Amino acid sequence: MTKIFALSLSIISCASAVLAQATTCPPVPSNTISIGEPVPTNPADIPGGCSAYEILVARGTSEPGKFGFIVGDNLVGNVSQVLPGARGYPVQYPASIDVLGGGRQGRLDIINRLISQSLRCPTQKFALVGYSQGASIMHQAVAELPISLYPKISALCMFGDPNLRLGILGDRFPLALRSKVLQSCAKGDLVCDTGSCEFWHLVYGRPEWINRATNFIVSAFRGTPLPPSTTVGI
């Protein structure tokens, strides 16, 4: 009788664990990103001339869309509605699983864009946005950026940043820019948090995340910056 009771408890415990996992880690929708394929760059998407504000967006791995359909498209659209002088720049890199080759390409593109636009448009302000692999590339680019360009950067908004999970202090943004950083990490995200759920890495297009970053960037561009924040949750 005791053995049967213990076995029953074991079965109930296992069932509860499976149910909890199903509840906390929903299945990934079939219409989401197909990881692995590079995203073709489109020179027609590169804005010319000058603008008051420019948002450089480094998309996540294999994330389609002009700026990235999960984060970039939504965020650039929101900010440009509030600030008509704002526009986006899609970082020109393949965002494939070749993170070394693609990372180098993206890093150099960010640096070159910031340098060339700063020379061409001295009053232009920038926001840097990175999602997943794109966040890692932003870290790499900023680490090599001339310090003289730091004042041109109004805000840095990262989503699902792998560096949060790695916890490597040397990979944090430079001290002079940390007051301009907004980190967004969903609880349970397998990339930025300690979880193992892919679903939570794909939720950053939700209004609670996009609106938060929109307010952060708009406030920074207007010269009334919000305090830096690292949020795991929402």
- What are the C-alpha distances in Å from 234 to residues 55, 187, 189, 221? 24, 8, 12, 25
Q: Which residue has the tokens 């008051």?
A: 52
Domains of the chain and CATH, by start:
45-232 (3.40.50.1820)
Confirm if 219 and 79 have CB atoms less than 8 A apart: no
For residue 150, give the DSSP letter: G
Confirm if 26 and 99 have CB atoms less than 8 A apart: no
| Cα–Cα dist 223/48, whole Å | 25
> What are residue 90's phi and psi, to 5 degrees?
-80, 120
Q: What is the pTM of this model?
A: 0.86
Give me the tens of pLDDT residue by residue for the chain, a chain 234 residues long. Answer: 443 333 332 332 333 333 333 347 888 876 666 666 778 888 889 999 999 999 999 999 989 999 999 999 999 999 999 999 999 999 999 887 776 666 789 999 999 999 999 999 999 999 999 999 999 999 999 999 999 999 999 999 999 999 987 665 545 899 999 999 999 999 999 999 888 888 999 999 999 999 999 999 999 999 999 999 988 776
